[in-house]
A and B are shown apart, each in its own frame.
Chain A
Amino acid sequence: MKQSEGILQRLNRPWVLGLSGVLGVFVIWQFIAASGAVDDLFLPSPISVLSAGSEKAYSGLLFKDAMASIGRVLGGYALSMLVSLPLGIAMGTNRTINQLLEPLLGLIRYMPAPAFIPLLIIYFGLGELPKVLLIFIGTLFFNTLMIMDSVRFVPAELIEAARTLGGKGLPILTKVVAPFIAPQVIDAYRINMAAAWNLVIVAELVAANEGLGKRISLAQRFLKTDEIFAYLIVIGLIGLLIDLSFRVLLRRSCRWSI
Protein backbone atom coordinates (compact mmCIF):
# COMPACT_ATOMS: atom_id res chain seq x y z
CA MET A 1 0.00 0.00 0.00
CA LYS A 2 1.34 3.42 -0.91
CA GLN A 3 1.71 6.02 1.83
CA SER A 4 0.15 8.74 -0.26
CA GLU A 5 -3.09 6.81 -0.63
CA GLY A 6 -6.04 8.83 0.67
CA ILE A 7 -8.47 7.51 3.21
CA LEU A 8 -11.27 7.52 0.62
CA GLN A 9 -9.29 5.28 -1.71
CA ARG A 10 -8.53 2.99 1.17
CA LEU A 11 -12.22 2.77 2.03
CA ASN A 12 -12.97 2.00 -1.58
CA ARG A 13 -11.28 -1.40 -1.50
CA PRO A 14 -13.74 -4.20 -2.26
CA TRP A 15 -13.25 -6.05 1.00
CA VAL A 16 -13.72 -2.91 3.08
CA LEU A 17 -17.05 -2.30 1.36
CA GLY A 18 -18.05 -5.94 1.71
CA LEU A 19 -17.24 -5.95 5.40
CA SER A 20 -19.18 -2.70 5.90
CA GLY A 21 -22.23 -4.33 4.31
CA VAL A 22 -22.08 -7.23 6.74
CA LEU A 23 -21.46 -5.01 9.74
CA GLY A 24 -24.28 -2.72 8.64
CA VAL A 25 -26.76 -5.59 8.71
CA PHE A 26 -25.61 -6.54 12.21
CA VAL A 27 -26.04 -2.98 13.45
CA ILE A 28 -29.55 -2.69 12.00
CA TRP A 29 -30.37 -6.12 13.39
CA GLN A 30 -29.19 -5.15 16.88
CA PHE A 31 -31.12 -1.89 16.64
CA ILE A 32 -34.39 -3.63 15.73
CA ALA A 33 -33.93 -6.32 18.37
CA ALA A 34 -33.15 -3.75 21.07
CA SER A 35 -36.14 -1.60 20.14
CA GLY A 36 -38.43 -4.43 21.21
CA ALA A 37 -40.57 -4.04 18.09
CA VAL A 38 -40.18 -7.73 17.23
CA ASP A 39 -40.68 -10.65 19.60
CA ASP A 40 -37.40 -12.08 20.91
CA LEU A 41 -38.48 -15.52 19.79
CA PHE A 42 -38.64 -14.42 16.14
CA LEU A 43 -35.63 -12.17 16.15
CA PRO A 44 -33.09 -12.81 18.90
CA SER A 45 -30.51 -10.08 19.28
CA PRO A 46 -27.06 -10.55 17.75
CA ILE A 47 -25.65 -10.65 21.27
CA SER A 48 -27.82 -13.59 22.33
CA VAL A 49 -27.03 -15.35 19.04
CA LEU A 50 -23.36 -14.86 19.75
CA SER A 51 -23.67 -16.24 23.26
CA ALA A 52 -25.71 -19.21 22.05
CA GLY A 53 -23.02 -19.86 19.45
CA SER A 54 -20.10 -19.54 21.85
CA GLU A 55 -21.85 -21.80 24.34
CA LYS A 56 -22.06 -24.50 21.65
CA ALA A 57 -18.49 -23.82 20.67
CA TYR A 58 -17.20 -24.18 24.25
CA SER A 59 -19.09 -27.42 24.79
CA GLY A 60 -17.35 -28.82 21.69
CA LEU A 61 -20.68 -29.64 20.10
CA LEU A 62 -20.31 -27.05 17.37
CA PHE A 63 -16.97 -28.45 16.28
CA LYS A 64 -18.29 -32.02 16.25
CA ASP A 65 -21.34 -31.09 14.20
CA ALA A 66 -19.33 -28.97 11.80
CA MET A 67 -16.86 -31.83 11.28
CA ALA A 68 -19.72 -34.26 10.64
CA SER A 69 -21.20 -32.01 7.96
CA ILE A 70 -17.83 -31.17 6.42
CA GLY A 71 -16.89 -34.86 6.33
CA ARG A 72 -20.03 -35.74 4.37
CA VAL A 73 -19.48 -32.90 1.95
CA LEU A 74 -15.85 -33.82 1.42
CA GLY A 75 -16.72 -37.46 0.77
CA GLY A 76 -19.56 -36.84 -1.65
CA TYR A 77 -17.93 -33.90 -3.37
CA ALA A 78 -14.54 -35.53 -3.77
CA LEU A 79 -16.30 -38.41 -5.49
CA SER A 80 -18.17 -35.94 -7.69
CA MET A 81 -14.96 -34.12 -8.67
CA LEU A 82 -13.22 -37.40 -9.38
CA VAL A 83 -15.96 -38.78 -11.64
CA SER A 84 -16.94 -35.54 -13.38
CA LEU A 85 -13.42 -34.79 -14.62
CA PRO A 86 -12.93 -37.80 -16.93
CA LEU A 87 -16.63 -37.83 -17.80
CA GLY A 88 -16.66 -34.14 -18.74
CA ILE A 89 -13.45 -34.46 -20.74
CA ALA A 90 -14.79 -37.53 -22.56
CA MET A 91 -18.04 -35.73 -23.37
CA GLY A 92 -16.16 -32.66 -24.53
CA THR A 93 -13.77 -34.53 -26.82
CA ASN A 94 -15.74 -37.50 -28.12
CA ARG A 95 -18.76 -36.83 -30.27
CA THR A 96 -20.35 -40.25 -29.76
CA ILE A 97 -20.09 -40.14 -25.99
CA ASN A 98 -21.41 -36.62 -26.09
CA GLN A 99 -24.48 -37.42 -28.16
CA LEU A 100 -25.14 -40.45 -25.98
CA LEU A 101 -24.94 -38.66 -22.63
CA GLU A 102 -25.69 -34.98 -23.04
CA PRO A 103 -29.51 -35.26 -23.34
CA LEU A 104 -29.54 -37.66 -20.38
CA LEU A 105 -27.48 -35.37 -18.19
CA GLY A 106 -29.46 -32.37 -19.32
CA LEU A 107 -32.61 -34.15 -18.12
CA ILE A 108 -31.28 -35.39 -14.78
CA ARG A 109 -29.83 -31.96 -14.08
CA TYR A 110 -33.35 -30.57 -13.80
CA MET A 111 -34.46 -33.13 -11.26
CA PRO A 112 -34.04 -31.45 -7.86
CA ALA A 113 -31.51 -33.43 -5.87
CA PRO A 114 -33.38 -33.18 -2.53
CA ALA A 115 -36.23 -35.08 -4.18
CA PHE A 116 -33.92 -38.09 -4.31
CA ILE A 117 -33.64 -38.21 -0.51
CA PRO A 118 -36.66 -40.50 0.02
CA LEU A 119 -35.34 -42.94 -2.57
CA LEU A 120 -31.86 -42.88 -1.11
CA ILE A 121 -33.23 -43.55 2.37
CA ILE A 122 -35.27 -46.49 1.05
CA TYR A 123 -32.19 -47.90 -0.73
CA PHE A 124 -29.47 -47.18 1.80
CA GLY A 125 -31.14 -46.45 5.12
CA LEU A 126 -30.28 -43.58 7.42
CA GLY A 127 -26.50 -43.90 7.62
CA GLU A 128 -23.74 -41.89 5.96
CA LEU A 129 -23.99 -43.46 2.52
CA PRO A 130 -27.27 -41.84 1.38
CA LYS A 131 -26.01 -38.40 2.43
CA VAL A 132 -22.71 -38.81 0.62
CA LEU A 133 -24.55 -40.12 -2.44
CA LEU A 134 -26.98 -37.20 -2.38
CA ILE A 135 -24.10 -34.76 -2.56
CA PHE A 136 -22.52 -36.84 -5.29
CA ILE A 137 -25.55 -36.99 -7.58
CA GLY A 138 -26.58 -33.45 -6.72
CA THR A 139 -23.32 -32.00 -8.04
CA LEU A 140 -22.03 -34.57 -10.53
CA PHE A 141 -24.09 -33.37 -13.47
CA PHE A 142 -23.34 -29.69 -13.00
CA ASN A 143 -19.63 -30.39 -12.66
CA THR A 144 -19.62 -32.69 -15.69
CA LEU A 145 -21.50 -30.30 -17.96
CA MET A 146 -19.33 -27.34 -16.99
CA ILE A 147 -16.14 -29.33 -17.58
CA MET A 148 -17.51 -30.53 -20.91
CA ASP A 149 -18.12 -26.94 -21.97
CA SER A 150 -14.64 -25.87 -20.99
CA VAL A 151 -13.16 -28.66 -23.13
CA ARG A 152 -15.31 -27.66 -26.07
CA PHE A 153 -13.98 -24.16 -26.01
CA VAL A 154 -10.30 -25.06 -26.15
CA PRO A 155 -9.21 -23.00 -29.20
CA ALA A 156 -8.72 -25.26 -32.23
CA GLU A 157 -5.39 -23.52 -32.98
CA LEU A 158 -3.89 -24.73 -29.71
CA ILE A 159 -4.66 -28.35 -30.53
CA GLU A 160 -3.72 -28.03 -34.18
CA ALA A 161 -0.44 -26.37 -33.31
CA ALA A 162 0.38 -29.36 -31.11
CA ARG A 163 -0.53 -31.74 -33.93
CA THR A 164 1.73 -29.93 -36.40
CA LEU A 165 4.51 -30.22 -33.82
CA GLY A 166 4.09 -33.98 -33.79
CA GLY A 167 1.65 -34.38 -30.91
CA LYS A 168 -1.33 -36.71 -30.93
CA GLY A 169 -3.86 -38.41 -28.68
CA LEU A 170 -3.00 -38.63 -25.01
CA PRO A 171 -0.10 -36.13 -24.97
CA ILE A 172 -2.43 -33.50 -26.46
CA LEU A 173 -4.97 -34.26 -23.75
CA THR A 174 -2.47 -34.02 -20.91
CA LYS A 175 -0.25 -31.25 -22.25
CA VAL A 176 -2.72 -28.99 -24.04
CA VAL A 177 -6.33 -29.66 -23.05
CA ALA A 178 -5.77 -30.30 -19.34
CA PRO A 179 -3.69 -27.19 -18.57
CA PHE A 180 -6.01 -25.03 -20.65
CA ILE A 181 -9.17 -26.10 -18.84
CA ALA A 182 -7.59 -26.28 -15.36
CA PRO A 183 -8.71 -22.80 -14.23
CA GLN A 184 -12.23 -23.37 -15.50
CA VAL A 185 -12.41 -26.76 -13.81
CA ILE A 186 -11.30 -25.28 -10.48
CA ASP A 187 -13.89 -22.55 -10.87
CA ALA A 188 -16.62 -25.06 -11.70
CA TYR A 189 -15.67 -27.00 -8.57
CA ARG A 190 -15.83 -23.82 -6.54
CA ILE A 191 -19.26 -22.79 -7.86
CA ASN A 192 -20.85 -26.22 -7.44
CA MET A 193 -19.36 -26.65 -3.99
CA ALA A 194 -22.07 -24.24 -2.84
CA ALA A 195 -24.69 -26.76 -3.95
CA ALA A 196 -22.90 -29.56 -2.11
CA TRP A 197 -22.82 -27.51 1.05
CA ASN A 198 -26.55 -26.75 0.72
CA LEU A 199 -27.40 -30.39 0.12
CA VAL A 200 -25.65 -31.71 3.20
CA ILE A 201 -27.71 -29.39 5.39
CA VAL A 202 -30.91 -30.47 3.61
CA ALA A 203 -30.01 -34.14 4.09
CA GLU A 204 -29.31 -33.58 7.78
CA LEU A 205 -32.57 -31.69 8.25
CA VAL A 206 -34.37 -34.79 7.02
CA ALA A 207 -32.48 -37.50 8.88
CA ALA A 208 -29.23 -37.50 10.84
CA ASN A 209 -27.79 -38.02 14.29
CA GLU A 210 -25.37 -35.15 14.11
CA GLY A 211 -24.36 -32.33 11.83
CA LEU A 212 -25.18 -28.63 11.55
CA GLY A 213 -28.46 -29.30 9.75
CA LYS A 214 -29.52 -31.81 12.39
CA ARG A 215 -28.78 -29.27 15.12
CA ILE A 216 -30.98 -26.70 13.36
CA SER A 217 -33.92 -29.04 13.21
CA LEU A 218 -33.46 -29.87 16.93
CA ALA A 219 -33.29 -26.17 17.78
CA GLN A 220 -36.53 -25.68 15.89
CA ARG A 221 -38.23 -28.32 18.04
CA PHE A 222 -37.29 -26.36 21.19
CA LEU A 223 -37.98 -22.97 19.58
CA LYS A 224 -34.36 -21.93 20.15
CA THR A 225 -34.17 -19.36 17.36
CA ASP A 226 -30.92 -17.92 18.73
CA GLU A 227 -29.28 -21.31 18.10
CA ILE A 228 -30.78 -21.51 14.60
CA PHE A 229 -29.30 -18.10 13.79
CA ALA A 230 -25.94 -19.11 15.25
CA TYR A 231 -25.82 -22.29 13.17
CA LEU A 232 -26.88 -20.43 10.01
CA ILE A 233 -24.00 -18.01 10.48
CA VAL A 234 -21.54 -20.85 11.04
CA ILE A 235 -22.82 -22.61 7.88
CA GLY A 236 -22.33 -19.41 5.91
CA LEU A 237 -18.84 -18.87 7.30
CA ILE A 238 -17.67 -22.40 6.50
CA GLY A 239 -19.08 -22.06 2.97
CA LEU A 240 -17.23 -18.77 2.55
CA LEU A 241 -13.99 -20.36 3.74
CA ILE A 242 -14.32 -23.24 1.27
CA ASP A 243 -15.05 -20.75 -1.52
CA LEU A 244 -11.99 -18.72 -0.57
CA SER A 245 -9.73 -21.76 -0.54
CA PHE A 246 -10.79 -22.63 -4.09
CA ARG A 247 -10.03 -19.05 -5.10
CA VAL A 248 -6.60 -19.24 -3.52
CA LEU A 249 -5.96 -22.55 -5.26
CA LEU A 250 -6.91 -20.95 -8.59
CA ARG A 251 -4.62 -17.98 -8.02
CA ARG A 252 -1.74 -20.15 -6.94
CA SER A 253 -1.96 -22.83 -9.61
CA CYS A 254 -3.12 -20.91 -12.68
CA ARG A 255 -1.42 -17.56 -12.49
CA TRP A 256 -1.50 -17.22 -16.27
CA SER A 257 -5.29 -17.06 -16.36
CA ILE A 258 -5.76 -14.11 -14.02
Chain B
Amino acid sequence: MNLSLTNVCKSFGRGSSAKLVLDNINFQVNSGEFVALVGSSGSGKSTVMRLIAGLDTPSSGSILMDGVPVKGPGPDRGMVFQRYSLYPWMTTADNVGFGMRLKGMAKPEVQERTNYFLNVVGLAYAADKLPKELSGGMQQRVAIARALAADPKVLLLDEPLGALDLQIRESMQEFLYQLWSRTGLTALLITHDLEEALLMAQRVHILASNPGRIVRTVEADLDRSNLSHLRVSPEFLSLREDLAQCLRGLSQELVTSS
Protein backbone atom coordinates (compact mmCIF):
# COMPACT_ATOMS: atom_id res chain seq x y z
CA MET B 1 0.00 0.00 0.00
CA ASN B 2 1.22 3.45 -0.84
CA LEU B 3 -0.61 6.72 -0.35
CA SER B 4 1.09 9.70 -1.90
CA LEU B 5 0.23 13.37 -2.04
CA THR B 6 2.06 15.41 -4.66
CA ASN B 7 1.89 19.20 -4.80
CA VAL B 8 -1.59 19.20 -3.36
CA CYS B 9 -3.19 22.63 -3.13
CA LYS B 10 -6.67 23.47 -1.97
CA SER B 11 -8.48 26.77 -1.93
CA PHE B 12 -12.04 27.49 -0.91
CA GLY B 13 -14.19 30.09 -2.60
CA ARG B 14 -13.82 31.56 -6.06
CA GLY B 15 -12.39 34.71 -7.62
CA SER B 16 -11.14 37.46 -5.36
CA SER B 17 -12.59 35.85 -2.23
CA ALA B 18 -10.73 32.59 -2.81
CA LYS B 19 -8.72 31.48 0.20
CA LEU B 20 -5.71 29.22 -0.13
CA VAL B 21 -5.98 26.66 2.67
CA LEU B 22 -3.38 24.10 1.60
CA ASP B 23 -0.22 25.05 -0.23
CA ASN B 24 1.84 22.37 -1.92
CA ILE B 25 1.42 19.44 0.41
CA ASN B 26 3.78 16.54 -0.28
CA PHE B 27 4.06 13.38 1.75
CA GLN B 28 3.65 9.63 1.57
CA VAL B 29 2.36 6.85 3.76
CA ASN B 30 3.53 3.29 3.15
CA SER B 31 2.27 -0.09 4.34
CA GLY B 32 2.54 -0.56 8.07
CA GLU B 33 3.58 2.99 8.85
CA PHE B 34 2.14 5.27 11.47
CA VAL B 35 2.44 8.84 10.21
CA ALA B 36 1.22 11.98 11.97
CA LEU B 37 0.42 15.48 10.82
CA VAL B 38 0.59 18.15 13.53
CA GLY B 39 -0.68 21.70 13.26
CA SER B 40 -2.62 24.26 15.20
CA SER B 41 -6.37 24.47 14.75
CA GLY B 42 -7.35 26.00 11.44
CA SER B 43 -4.09 24.98 9.76
CA GLY B 44 -5.95 22.74 7.33
CA LYS B 45 -5.51 19.31 8.92
CA SER B 46 -9.08 18.19 8.44
CA THR B 47 -8.98 19.47 4.89
CA VAL B 48 -5.99 17.20 4.13
CA MET B 49 -7.93 14.25 5.57
CA ARG B 50 -11.05 15.04 3.60
CA LEU B 51 -9.06 15.22 0.39
CA ILE B 52 -7.46 11.84 1.06
CA ALA B 53 -10.81 10.34 2.04
CA GLY B 54 -12.23 11.67 -1.22
CA LEU B 55 -14.89 13.75 0.52
CA ASP B 56 -13.48 16.82 -1.22
CA THR B 57 -11.26 17.34 -4.28
CA PRO B 58 -7.91 19.14 -4.41
CA SER B 59 -7.67 22.36 -6.41
CA SER B 60 -4.44 21.08 -7.92
CA GLY B 61 -1.90 18.33 -7.39
CA SER B 62 -2.52 14.62 -7.11
CA ILE B 63 -3.46 12.10 -4.46
CA LEU B 64 -2.68 8.51 -5.39
CA MET B 65 -3.63 5.27 -3.69
CA ASP B 66 -1.27 2.59 -5.01
CA GLY B 67 -0.70 4.76 -8.05
CA VAL B 68 -4.40 5.26 -8.76
CA PRO B 69 -5.86 8.77 -8.37
CA VAL B 70 -8.39 9.10 -5.55
CA LYS B 71 -11.83 9.70 -6.98
CA GLY B 72 -14.38 10.00 -4.21
CA PRO B 73 -14.66 8.08 -0.98
CA GLY B 74 -14.06 4.35 -0.79
CA PRO B 75 -13.74 1.61 1.78
CA ASP B 76 -9.99 1.32 1.12
CA ARG B 77 -9.57 4.49 3.20
CA GLY B 78 -11.29 4.14 6.55
CA MET B 79 -11.93 7.34 8.44
CA VAL B 80 -12.44 8.15 12.09
CA PHE B 81 -13.90 11.60 12.56
CA GLN B 82 -13.03 14.34 15.00
CA ARG B 83 -16.58 14.52 16.24
CA TYR B 84 -18.63 11.50 17.20
CA SER B 85 -20.07 10.01 14.08
CA LEU B 86 -21.75 6.86 15.35
CA TYR B 87 -25.31 6.17 14.27
CA PRO B 88 -27.36 6.98 17.37
CA TRP B 89 -30.14 4.49 16.56
CA MET B 90 -27.76 1.54 16.13
CA THR B 91 -26.28 -0.59 18.87
CA THR B 92 -22.52 -0.86 19.17
CA ALA B 93 -22.58 -4.12 17.19
CA ASP B 94 -24.77 -2.67 14.44
CA ASN B 95 -22.51 0.35 14.14
CA VAL B 96 -19.45 -1.85 13.77
CA GLY B 97 -21.22 -4.04 11.19
CA PHE B 98 -22.57 -1.10 9.19
CA GLY B 99 -19.84 -0.97 6.56
CA MET B 100 -20.01 -4.73 6.02
CA ARG B 101 -23.78 -4.59 5.59
CA LEU B 102 -23.37 -1.77 3.07
CA LYS B 103 -21.05 -4.06 1.13
CA GLY B 104 -23.73 -6.75 1.17
CA MET B 105 -21.74 -9.22 3.23
CA ALA B 106 -23.69 -12.27 4.46
CA LYS B 107 -25.21 -12.02 7.92
CA PRO B 108 -23.21 -14.75 9.71
CA GLU B 109 -19.98 -13.31 8.39
CA VAL B 110 -20.98 -9.80 9.48
CA GLN B 111 -21.72 -11.15 12.93
CA GLU B 112 -18.45 -13.00 13.18
CA ARG B 113 -16.34 -10.06 12.04
CA THR B 114 -18.28 -7.69 14.25
CA ASN B 115 -17.49 -9.85 17.27
CA TYR B 116 -13.88 -10.02 16.25
CA PHE B 117 -13.48 -6.25 15.97
CA LEU B 118 -15.46 -5.61 19.14
CA ASN B 119 -12.90 -7.80 20.88
CA VAL B 120 -10.06 -5.95 19.21
CA VAL B 121 -11.25 -2.66 20.73
CA GLY B 122 -12.23 -4.37 24.00
CA LEU B 123 -15.94 -3.59 23.79
CA ALA B 124 -17.55 -7.00 23.38
CA TYR B 125 -19.44 -6.43 26.63
CA ALA B 126 -21.07 -3.28 25.21
CA ALA B 127 -22.30 -4.89 21.98
CA ASP B 128 -25.97 -4.17 22.67
CA LYS B 129 -25.62 -0.66 24.01
CA LEU B 130 -26.66 2.48 22.15
CA PRO B 131 -24.04 5.21 21.54
CA LYS B 132 -25.68 7.51 24.07
CA GLU B 133 -25.03 4.89 26.73
CA LEU B 134 -21.27 4.91 26.02
CA SER B 135 -18.58 7.29 27.26
CA GLY B 136 -16.71 9.48 24.78
CA GLY B 137 -13.69 7.20 24.76
CA MET B 138 -15.82 4.12 24.18
CA GLN B 139 -17.65 5.83 21.34
CA GLN B 140 -14.40 6.60 19.58
CA ARG B 141 -13.30 2.99 20.02
CA VAL B 142 -16.54 1.89 18.35
CA ALA B 143 -15.85 4.33 15.52
CA ILE B 144 -12.37 2.84 15.14
CA ALA B 145 -13.79 -0.69 15.12
CA ARG B 146 -16.36 0.33 12.52
CA ALA B 147 -13.63 1.73 10.27
CA LEU B 148 -11.40 -1.32 10.76
CA ALA B 149 -14.22 -3.78 10.09
CA ALA B 150 -14.57 -2.42 6.56
CA ASP B 151 -11.02 -3.67 5.99
CA PRO B 152 -9.33 -0.42 4.90
CA LYS B 153 -5.80 -0.26 3.55
CA VAL B 154 -5.15 2.87 5.53
CA LEU B 155 -6.88 4.25 8.62
CA LEU B 156 -7.37 8.02 8.61
CA LEU B 157 -7.64 9.40 12.14
CA ASP B 158 -8.79 13.03 12.29
CA GLU B 159 -8.15 14.16 15.87
CA PRO B 160 -9.91 11.04 17.13
CA LEU B 161 -9.06 11.90 20.73
CA GLY B 162 -9.62 15.65 20.45
CA ALA B 163 -12.92 15.66 22.34
CA LEU B 164 -11.76 13.47 25.23
CA ASP B 165 -10.65 14.36 28.76
CA LEU B 166 -6.93 14.28 29.46
CA GLN B 167 -7.09 11.06 31.53
CA ILE B 168 -8.98 9.15 28.90
CA ARG B 169 -6.82 10.65 26.18
CA GLU B 170 -3.70 9.08 27.65
CA SER B 171 -5.19 5.64 27.92
CA MET B 172 -6.64 5.97 24.42
CA GLN B 173 -3.21 6.93 23.08
CA GLU B 174 -1.91 3.74 24.62
CA PHE B 175 -4.82 1.83 23.11
CA LEU B 176 -4.31 3.29 19.62
CA TYR B 177 -0.61 2.56 19.65
CA GLN B 178 -1.13 -1.02 20.84
CA LEU B 179 -3.80 -1.49 18.21
CA TRP B 180 -1.41 -0.37 15.50
CA SER B 181 1.51 -2.47 16.70
CA ARG B 182 -0.65 -5.58 17.20
CA THR B 183 -2.58 -5.49 13.96
CA GLY B 184 0.01 -4.12 11.57
CA LEU B 185 -2.39 -1.60 10.14
CA THR B 186 -1.35 1.56 8.34
CA ALA B 187 -2.40 4.79 9.99
CA LEU B 188 -2.37 8.50 9.32
CA LEU B 189 -3.07 10.52 12.46
CA ILE B 190 -3.97 14.17 12.54
CA THR B 191 -3.68 16.06 15.79
CA HIS B 192 -2.88 19.45 17.29
CA ASP B 193 -1.16 17.65 20.16
CA LEU B 194 2.56 17.29 19.53
CA GLU B 195 3.08 14.83 22.36
CA GLU B 196 0.34 12.59 21.01
CA ALA B 197 1.91 12.55 17.57
CA LEU B 198 5.43 11.81 18.85
CA LEU B 199 4.19 9.05 21.12
CA MET B 200 2.75 7.02 18.30
CA ALA B 201 4.07 8.05 14.91
CA GLN B 202 7.44 7.21 13.42
CA ARG B 203 7.19 10.16 11.12
CA VAL B 204 5.74 13.53 12.07
CA HIS B 205 5.01 16.38 9.68
CA ILE B 206 4.57 19.86 11.09
CA LEU B 207 1.89 21.88 9.36
CA ALA B 208 2.07 25.70 9.38
CA SER B 209 -1.11 27.74 8.95
CA ASN B 210 -2.29 30.33 6.45
CA PRO B 211 -1.82 28.68 4.08
CA GLY B 212 -1.40 25.15 5.45
CA ARG B 213 2.01 23.85 4.43
CA ILE B 214 4.48 21.28 5.72
CA VAL B 215 7.43 23.13 7.23
CA ARG B 216 9.23 20.29 8.92
CA THR B 217 9.36 16.52 8.95
CA VAL B 218 10.96 14.39 11.66
CA GLU B 219 11.64 10.69 11.81
CA ALA B 220 10.85 9.91 15.41
CA ASP B 221 12.86 6.74 16.02
CA LEU B 222 11.99 6.15 19.65
CA ASP B 223 11.77 3.14 21.89
CA ARG B 224 8.00 2.71 22.25
CA SER B 225 7.97 -0.48 24.31
CA ASN B 226 6.56 1.49 27.23
CA LEU B 227 4.69 4.67 26.41
CA SER B 228 4.47 6.01 29.95
CA HIS B 229 8.25 5.76 30.23
CA LEU B 230 8.62 7.30 26.81
CA ARG B 231 6.53 10.33 27.85
CA VAL B 232 9.15 11.34 30.42
CA SER B 233 12.33 10.13 28.72
CA PRO B 234 14.93 12.88 28.03
CA GLU B 235 15.15 11.91 24.38
CA PHE B 236 11.39 12.32 23.94
CA LEU B 237 11.25 15.55 25.89
CA SER B 238 14.03 17.22 23.95
CA LEU B 239 12.52 16.23 20.61
CA ARG B 240 9.15 17.52 21.77
CA GLU B 241 10.67 20.79 22.96
CA ASP B 242 12.51 21.23 19.68
CA LEU B 243 9.30 20.81 17.66
CA ALA B 244 7.24 22.85 20.13
CA GLN B 245 9.65 25.71 19.52
CA CYS B 246 9.12 25.31 15.81
CA LEU B 247 5.33 25.49 16.30
CA ARG B 248 5.67 28.48 18.63
CA GLY B 249 7.78 30.23 16.03
CA LEU B 250 5.03 29.68 13.51
CA SER B 251 2.35 31.21 15.68
CA GLN B 252 4.70 34.10 16.53
CA GLU B 253 5.15 34.73 12.86
CA LEU B 254 1.38 34.69 12.46
CA VAL B 255 0.88 37.31 15.17
CA THR B 256 3.51 39.71 13.81
CA SER B 257 2.43 39.37 10.20
CA SER B 258 -1.25 40.13 10.85
In the bound assembly, the distance between CA atoms of A176 and B98 in angstroms comes to 10
Chain A 160-179, CB-CB to B under 8 Å as 1, else 0, gives 11111111000100011001
**A176 partner residues in chain B, CB cutoff 8 A:** 87
Assess the A157–B83 pair: CB atoms within 8 A.
Answer: yes
A256 contact from B53, B130, B147, Cβ within 8 A: B130
Smallest CB separation, A183 vs chain B (Å) = 9
Contact of A257 with B99 at beta-carbon distance under 8 Å, contacts A161-B79, A165-B150 already known = no
Assess the B85–A161 pair: CB atoms within 8 A.
Answer: yes
Contact of A166 with B102 at beta-carbon distance under 8 Å, contacts A157-B81, A161-B79, A161-B81 already known = yes
Total CB contacts across the A-B interface at under 8 A? 69
Whether A231 is near chain B, meaning CB under 8 Å from some CB there, is no
**B98 partner residues in chain A, CB cutoff 8 A:** 162, 165, 175
Chain A 103-134, CB-CB to B under 8 Å as 1, else 0, gives 00000000000000000000000000000000
Chain B 95-134, CB-CB to A under 8 Å as 1, else 0, gives 0001101110000000000000000000000000010100
Within 8 A of B (CB), among A172-191: 175-176, 179-180, 182
In the bound assembly, the distance between CA atoms of A193 and B44 in angstroms comes to 47
Interface residues on B, range: 20 to 34
Describe A's contact surface by its main secondary structure: helix
Contact of A163 with B55 at beta-carbon distance under 8 Å, contacts A171-B102, A256-B130, A256-B132 already known = yes
Task: Please give me the residue from chain B that is nearest to A167 by CB atom.
Answer: B102
Interface centre among B81, B84, B147 (most CB of A within 10 A): B81
In the bound assembly, the distance between CA atoms of A158 and B88 in angstroms comes to 10
Residue positions of A touching B, CB distance < 8 A: 155, 157-158, 160-167, 171, 175-176, 179-180, 182, 254, 256-257
Sample of 9 further A-B pairs with CB below 8 A, known A162-B98, A162-B102, A257-B88? A157-B84, A158-B87, A161-B85, A161-B143, A164-B73, A164-B147, A166-B103, A180-B87, A182-B89
Q: List 19 A-B contacts (CB under 8 A).
A: A155-B83, A157-B84, A157-B85, A161-B79, A163-B72, A163-B73, A164-B73, A164-B75, A165-B75, A165-B98, A166-B99, A166-B102, A166-B103, A175-B101, A180-B89, A254-B89, A256-B89, A256-B130, A257-B89
